[in-house]
Amino acid sequence: MRFDVLTLFPEIFSSYLGQSLLAKAIEGNLVEVHPHDMRKWANDKHNRVDDRPFGGGAGMVIRAEPVVECVEAVQREGSHPGRLIMLSPQGRRLDQRLVEELSQESRLLLLCGRYEGFDQRVSDLLQPEEISIGDYVLNGGEVAAMAIIDAVIRLIPGVLGDETSSVDDSFSSGNRLLEFPQYTRPRVYRGLAAPDVLLSGDHAQIAAWRKQQSIERTKRRRADLLDRDVESEDE
């Protein structure tokens, strides 16, 4: 899977690309991540990427030209244009179902805004779909782009080692329950013991205990997940 990230701050991604899971996925040719600096396409006489908003108001707006030119150039680079996503607080809320949908794509272009956002002609001309990672405003779309990459690559076959699986994750497809509590060595730490059932070797009992824990935790923390009817999941 190929990710192209269009940003004014490509350097933000250099250390992120080195983190172990992503680095291994890139080394294993399972994933490619290509940050692109939109400033390189600011070819007006002042090489500006932003400017003051028409009609006045605080802040700066990202000019349409460098963005549209950059997106079109990047789309020409690959074997096909890919799915263009603008990270925006006005977008469709990201959830695991959307992550699973995105993980089926072979190429995602992630368009990261800054300042007061993009000139409207960027959306008029490129028709990107907008995705939000939650109801709050960030200084830039780069953090949201990393969240999408991070969540999506976990679902690409081969990225998580054999010993790890996303199947039991909270929210994984069809799973409306939060994950059960986890324990590891030592068995007792500061007087707190891991549940005996987990050391019993009785896999049926362990599975039953984990399911019960997931149900109780979900009821306590996210009862709304249990209220979702099945139909809504098919939307």
Ligand X SMILES: COC(=O)c1ccnc(N)c1
**Catalytic position from the list 37, 105, 116, 179:** 116
| SS3 of 162-181 | CCCCCCCCCCCCCCCCCCCC
When the beta carbons of 111 and 198 are compared against ligand X, the nearer one is 111
Is 191 marked as a binding-site residue?
no
- Concerning whether 154 is annotated as a catalytic residue, the answer is yes
Is 133 marked as a binding-site residue?
yes
- Concerning whether 89 is annotated as a catalytic residue, the answer is yes
Q: Does 87 bind ligand X (CB under 6 A)?
A: yes
Q: Does 59 bind ligand X (CB under 6 A)?
A: no
**Catalytic position from the list 37, 105, 150, 169:** 169
Task: Return d(Cα 213, Cα 221) in angstroms, integer.
Answer: 12
Task: Return d(Cα 219, Cα 118) in angstroms, integer.
Answer: 41
What is the closest distance, in whole angstroms, from the C-beta atom of residue 140 to ligand X in the complex? 5
x-or-dash string of contact with ligand X, 129-168, rule CB under 6 A: ---xxx-xxx-xx--x------------------------
What is the rounded end-to-end Cα distance, in angstroms, of the chain? Answer: 26
Query: Using omega within 30 degrees of 0 as the cis cutoff, is the peptide bond preceding 53 cis?
Result: no
x-or-dash string of contact with ligand X, 101-120, rule CB under 6 A: ------------x-------
As a residue count, the chain comes to 235
- Concerning whether 116 is annotated as a catalytic residue, the answer is yes
What is the closest distance, in whole angstroms, from the C-beta atom of residue 66 to ligand X in the complex? 16
When the beta carbons of 66 and 141 are compared against ligand X, the nearer one is 141
Amino acid at 139: N
Handedness of CA 151, 179, 234, 224 (dihedral sign): negative
111 close to 128: Cβ distance less than 8 angstroms: yes
When the beta carbons of 146 and 160 are compared against ligand X, the nearer one is 146
171 close to 221: Cβ distance less than 8 angstroms: no
- Concerning whether 195 is annotated as a catalytic residue, the answer is no
Q: Kindly list the residues in this chain that would bind ligand X in the complex (CB under 6 A).
A: 87-89, 113, 132-134, 136-138, 140-141, 144
For the annotated catalytic residues, the residue numbers are 89, 116, 154, 169
